Structure 1
Amino acid sequence: MLDALYCLNCQVFMKYIIRLQAEITVKSRSVRARHGKLLTANLRNQLKAIDADITVRWLWDRIETQLPAQLSAQQHQAVVERLSSTPGVLHFERVQQHELTDFATLLEWVLQFKAQQLENQTFAVVVKRKGHHSFSSQDMARYIGGGILERVPGTRVQLKGAAQEVVIMVADDTVFLVEKRFAGLGGFPLPSQETVLSLMSGGFDSTVSSYQMIKRGARTHYCFFNLGGDAHEAGVREISYYIWQKFSPTHPVKFISIDFAPLVDKILAHVDNSLMGVVLKRTMLRAACLATRYVNAQALVTGEAMGQVSSQTLSNLAVIDEVTNRLVLRPLIAMDKQDIVDIARHIGTEPLAAAMPEYCGVISNKPTVKAKLGAVQAAETVITDELIEAQVYNAQVIDIRQLHDASMAKVDLTQGANDNAPQVILDIRRSEEQEQAPLQQQPYPVESLPFFKLEKHFKGLPSDTHYLLYCDQGVMSRMQALHLREQGFSNVSVYTQASA
């Protein structure tokens, strides 16, 4: 919940000042103008969906967003979430606005909003100015600071490391008082860079690499090679939709699903164990290059990190890349696995990625760390261009905006397939999430079984009971329900509190 969202004396409109990513501000005037206009348009499109009366203006060095008085607390929170998830925003500040008048009037205005939180605190006043004025920033800071020191009990000036910082910005004839600063995503606005196609497995690496490309301003389409059936594809669809919806909803993209089972069968039957991983990756690049025609992508994106697994040594990566003249980008190439997991946790994809099965690694036994190009080329002769072209030609190419509904349709969201069986809600969230927001007053008994234990322990549950899987967003529960259905369990569906 936003702190101090409403007060009786607040002005009618609330305003946010948005600062562009620092790399944008040092570019040439024409490039900076293009980035500023793109970011303004992206923010306007997203915020207008929250409320049509929200205004967004680009003022060269900043973007100002003004919110009408009728917005609910939930809408205010949605605005903050959109601003913090849009590429190109360095940071943004919630501010109060006042016309530039005499210092005494401005002091009363500052005290109206800041006096209570400054009591018994150390503080510093920071004034930033733009425009021509008869006073200096130090003049205003000294006056406001002296007034606070005199009028607010228990205050003490501390210029460095103060508990509270009073930030005042003067822009020509307007004064802004910063109430709170929020971190932005950074990066460049979409689509300031060219289009890419990301190879998605749904694990930590591919999801974080896709996020990194979106953050950098590239429209990112998704290509999935189906090795694990409907449950795997459903999971990758969900995580792809989540990344798109959270970080790039202003620009629709495609989700391309290619049935790779026939190609994997060829590899398993004809390729030496030590070369399987490299041959599989080369086959994926060959297919992905053909798939770029569906989305006009200029580069491919993978989640490989140097040395993370045997197929990702520099020698093997060079052999893998030799198969294509298309640019292959690897945003994670020098990152540690824990850093990748930390980013996944930060952007909200960790639970989904953690539950995603890894199929690429299981087809290779004792892989070589230094594959020879000649041996690889000889081994992959069974993977003909015609075979790859046939699979790509029959690929499913889906608008990402329809992806979520299509995934949901695969699992019944009603209470259960057998309404005569006892119903039990199975809370599959992590233990700490269950403790923070426990399920209470539900129509059925609630049992706990975290998602990472579900596959191992579900077969031991009573088969005459129908289990309704629950998680906060419904994404993990759908994915797990699909996986269990695929394994032959019919006594499982998805539970939402709205369906209770």
Structure 2
Amino acid sequence: MIFVLRFHAEITVKSKSLRQRYSKVLTGSIRNLMKAISPEIKVRNLWDKLEVETPEVPEVCAQVLDRLQNTPGISHIEQVENTPFESFEQLLEFVLDKQGEHLANQSFAVRVKRKGKHEFSSQDLAAYIGGGIKARVEGTRVQLKNPEQTVKIWLEDDQANVEIERFNGLGGYPIPTQETVVSLISGGFDSAVATYALMRRGARTHFCFFNLGGAEAHEAAVKEVSYFIWEKFSKSHPVKFVSIDFSDVVDRILTQDQPGLMGVLLKRAMLRAASIVASRLNAQAIVTGEALGQVSSQTLTNLQVIDEVTDTLVLRPLIVSDKQDIVDLANSIGVGEMAAAIPEYCGVISNKPTVKAQRGAIKVAEETLNDELIESAVLNGKLIDVRNIPTVTQEETHIRQINDLAELNGNELVLDIRAPEEEELNPLVLSGSKVQHLPFFKLARAAEGLDKNQPVVLYCKQGVMSRLQAITLRNMGFTQVAVLADEAVCKS
């Protein structure tokens, strides 16, 4: 099977040298991604498009399409069938074989594009193919404006491609055609979507998490959200995940006598630390999920005061976005459910936060937040390769992960904690094991009635909620808790 990849429109209007660079980067990224699927996949750079040729194996084709649809730089993907061009008659038979059944009882138009020398025009070929379809496919009628179906043919010298289906791409620029950034990730909707936005725009994006003193489940969940975003949209290029313990900074902020400034003080401290991280990772900007006016620290006055603490460029891709639009985008890219499941930890919430912080008051309040405190927090931070997050998270939380269904002995209570609509689409059925559907938002209360010595195995698609809820059950006194990896279910 052949997939033809069309570049994002903003790439096609660039200079020849830039276009060559972007197409070369995108080709390299796709080759890296395809290696993990099958060594038989071929990727060709053809100047105005890329071609990906895959074995005729449904599972492989599905994986390839999923990867291509989530790779920045691609406007759309055309699934095509290729044939040598011999004559009008031969091409008509090919089109009827591939598309005839699909066109029955519908209006249609034929569009032909040619490259190379031919003794006929594109209109001649389109008229012949259209006439043949109308004469031989029941119920068809030609309709050049707004047809129900469009037959698209690309003829290049003596080779013809017929489009079978078209899929939307992600758009944006290939990673890393833009420079490197560090995204401040909390695991919530805003930071996740902001991170995605920079990846889509072609920036290699590292992650930086500030632990404000929340439970271990919070950091574990943020790591898994970060891993999900990277694995889905940026897997072609490894990045770092930096975790910084900010509990000492929070303690200092709580001791100063200006409670209304706490939110601004925390954001300024985060930018100071993030600037050090950005410098060490050779990143040119810091990314945040702030939106204008969403909370008190995000007024124009406060944002200006916050930014003054660093010379590093601060990017806010969501600055004019409505919250519901952010949530909708989070859901569309697959992180909404995970973001909703992550608990909020903030140790510096004020009852009366200021919306217009005064610089003089900030300077006085920051006297205890010296450079040594910030630098020490960064120095003692943990830096890991994002590719190692699944292993590191499992080791840090000490939650057993079941990677093969053979590890189940039938005595466990398997709890499918996915949301009801997701469970209904694809119910979890395990031979020899009792499976109970219990949505994650009902688990804590329902767990009070369960036997705490009963082995419990939790399952969700991405593994974030299952690990979070496993930690919750363990803290409630359950002695045998494990999570079931989606890979184990897929192998069954």
Q: TM-score, normalised by structure 2?
A: 0.93
Cα distance in 1 for partners of 2:485, 2:233 equals 25
Q: Report SS of the residue matched to 1:363.
A: coil
| Corresponding position of 1:116 | 101
- How far does residue 487 in structure 1 lie from its aligned partner after superposition? 5.9
Counterpart CA distance in 2 for 1:52 and 1:392 is 41
Establish whether residue 453 from structure 1 lines up as the match of residue 439 from structure 2. Answer: no
Distance 1:80 1:464, change over 3 A: same
How far is the alpha carbon of 1:351 from its aligned partner? 1.1
* Residue 477 (str. 1) matches residue 463 (str. 2): no
Residue aligning to 1:313:
299
Q: Distance in 1 between matches of 2:274 and 2:411?
A: 47
| Equivalent residue pairs, number | 482
Partner of 1:34: 21
CA distance in 1, matches of 2:275, 2:188: 21
- Aligned mates of 1:361, 1:171 — CA distance in 2: 64
**Matching residue of 2:267:** 281
How far, CA to CA, are the matches of 2:475 and 2:247 in structure 1? 16
Counterpart of 1:55 in structure 2 is 42
User: Secondary structure at 1:205's aligned position in 2?
Assistant: helix
Q: 1:230 aligns with which of 194, 216, 221?
A: 216
Equivalence for 1:100 = 85
Mapped contact 2:457–2:484 kept (Cα < 8 A): yes
Distance 1:466 1:363, change over 3 A: farther
Q: Per-residue CA shift, 1:148-180, capped at 9, x if unaligned?
A: 011111111122232221111122332110001
Which of 376, 397, 419 is the equivalent residue of 1:430?
419
- Residue 422 of structure 1 deviates from its aligned partner by 6.6
Conservation of the 8 A alpha-carbon contact between 2:250 and 2:348: no
Query: Where do 5+ consecutive residues of structure 2 fail to align?
Result: none
Instruction: Tell me, in whole angstroms, the C-alpha distance in 2 between the residues paired with 1:135 and 1:414.
Output: 63
Shift of 1:481: 1.6
Deviation at 1:133, TM superposition (A): 2.6
Residue 439 to residue 333, structure 1, CA distance change in 2 (3 Å): same
How big is the shift at 1:489? 4.7
Secondary structure in structure 1 of the residue aligned to 2:81: strand
The one-letter code matched in structure 2 to 1:55 is: K
- Aligned 8 A contact 1:188 1:217 in 2: yes
- 1:321-343 Cα deviation digits (max 9, x unpaired): 11111100001111111111111
Q: Are 1:205 and 1:340, in contact at CA under 8 Å, matched by a contact in 2?
A: yes
3-state secondary structure, aligned to 1:210? helix
**Structure 2: which amino acid aligns with 1:427?**
D
Verify: 1:397 aligned to 2:386, yes or no: no
Distance in 2 (alpha carbons) for counterparts of 1:479 and 1:299: 31
Question: Which amino acid letter does the alignment assign opposite residue 475 of structure 1?
Answer: V
Q: Which residue of 2 aligns with 1:164?
A: 149
Moved more, 188-197 or 365-374: 365-374
Does the C-alpha gap of structure 1 residues 53 and 493 become closer, same or farther in structure 2, counting only changes over 3 Å?
A: closer
What is the CA–CA distance in structure 2 between the aligned matches of 1:311 and 1:487, rounded to whole Å?
Answer: 36
Q: Which runs of 5+ in 1 are unaligned?
A: 1-13
Per the TM alignment, residue 303 of structure 1 is displaced from its structure 2 partner at its CA by 0.4
Q: Of 237, 241, 250, which residue of structure 2 is paired with 1:251?
A: 237
Residue 84 of structure 1 corresponds to 69
AA partner of residue 49 (structure 2): R
SS at match of 2:21: helix
Opposite residue 7 of structure 2, the aligned amino acid is L
Q: 2:2 aligns with which of 1, 8, 15?
A: 15
Residues in 2 aligned to 1:479 and 1:63: alpha-carbon distance in whole angstroms: 41
Alpha-carbon deviation of 1:380? Answer: 1.6
Q: Secondary structure at the match of 1:197?
A: strand
> Within 2, Cα distance between the matches of 1:274 and 1:458?
39
| SS of the residue 2:155 aligns to | strand
* 1:11 matched residue in structure 2: none
Q: Pick which of 397-406 and 431-440 moved more.
A: 431-440
Partner SS, residue 179 of structure 1:
strand
Runs of 4+ off more than 6 Å: 419-422
* Separation in structure 2 between the aligned mates of residue 474 and residue 309 of structure 1, nearest angstrom: 31
- Distance in 2, Cα, partners of 1:332 & 1:400: 24
Q: 1:486 to 1:217 in 2, by over 3 A?
A: farther
Give the Cα–Cα distance (whole angstroms) in 1 for the partners of residues 281 and 8 of structure 2.
28
SS in 2 for 1:189: coil
In structure 2, the residue matched to 1:364 is: 350
Identity of aligned residues (%): 55
**CA deviation after TM superposition for structure 1 residue 461, in Å:** 4.0
The corresponding residue for 2:400 is: 412
**What is the distance in 2 between the residues matched to 1:61 and 1:292?**
35
Q: 2:374 aligns with which of 380, 383, 388?
A: 388
Q: Which amino acid aligns with 1:291?
A: V
Deviation readout 1:159-211 (Å, 9 max, x if unpaired): 22322211111223321100011111111111101100000100001111111
Give the distance between the partners of 2:247 and 2:166, measured in 1 at CA: 50
- Which residue number corresponds to residue 10 of structure 1? none
CA contact 1:231–1:486 (8 Å) conserved in 2 = no
Q: Residue type matched to 2:401 in 1? A: L
Q: Return the match for 1:75 from 49, 60, 69.
A: 60
